[in-house]
Chain A
């Protein structure tokens, strides 16, 4: 075996390791789904608060958010089935992406449960307004971590946008129009990068 042959073998091994290291992220469909679902729910919430949709004797908000939870559950089940057939599912970047978003989702669930519990027990109707600001901060953290760990630097810009939106939503949390802002924010920091990720996603084994 010569040095040149060995170098060729190492170059081949390196190229395969690099393929795995830089495997495309598979979260695009999830980003698009959550971006659209959040935008729809936030817009509906704004419409009820602004009097554009009927209040339904206080049932409008539960109707919106229970419908949201049902659609989210069904959507996640369908997306899970779709993603399982994709190559690179266990690559480092995809595992990092999955872990970051799972962590963010659990944190958001904790904040949502706590805020709704406060609304019910303390009769504080503004309590749920704390959720969307926190949500965008968590989206930003997950986007930031995903960008760093998967070496997809362009995603980092969406993290900073998400942080900015989180700050603005915390500042204007009790304004009805802030929900419209959150809807637009969802399209900007979830839907838009989701479309970009989908374009890079492998359709099958390559």
Chain B
């Protein structure tokens, strides 16, 4: 069984939940928090924690606003976030190719 050096992979992205968030945001951005939560099957707290990590890295931007009287939290994929996502996919691809 092949082993990978996980230090070569962007750790900010490569948690299962954060991976799902980045993948979904790559095609739907901004996504409402509740929509993202349903898509990645997470709890409010869990998703918030992971989004904070992505936000600290500058990969996502959280926007809070009101839609009428309802609060709405939108999660945007930032330009550095998209670049990091593409770089992550390239890195994974290279690792897989090297392992073949």
Where the two chains meet, the residues of A that have a C-beta atom closer than 8 Å to any C-beta of B are: 1-4, 6-7, 9-10, 12-14, 16-17, 19-21, 23, 84, 87-92, 205-206
Contact = CB atoms under 8 A, between A and B. Distances in A.
A91 B27 CA distance: 6
Contacts of A4: 1
Given A1-B3, A1-B6, A14-B23, A23 B28 contact: yes
Given A12-B20, A87-B35, A90-B31, A20 B26 contact: yes
A205 B38 CA distance: 7
Contacts of B4: 1-3, 6
A17 B23 contact: yes
A17 B34 contact: no
A3 B99 contact: yes
A89 B75 CA distance: 13
Question: Chain B at the A interface: mostly helix, strand, loop or mixed?
Answer: helix
Nearest to B14: A9
Contacts of B26: 17, 20
Interface of B: 1-4, 6, 9, 14, 16, 19-20, 22-32, 34-35, 38-40, 67, 92, 95-96, 99
Given A6-B96, A9-B16, A205-B35, A17 B24 contact: yes
B92 A10 contact: yes
A13 B20 contact: yes
B94 to A, nearest CB: 12
Contact of B19 (A1, A13, A19, A23): A13
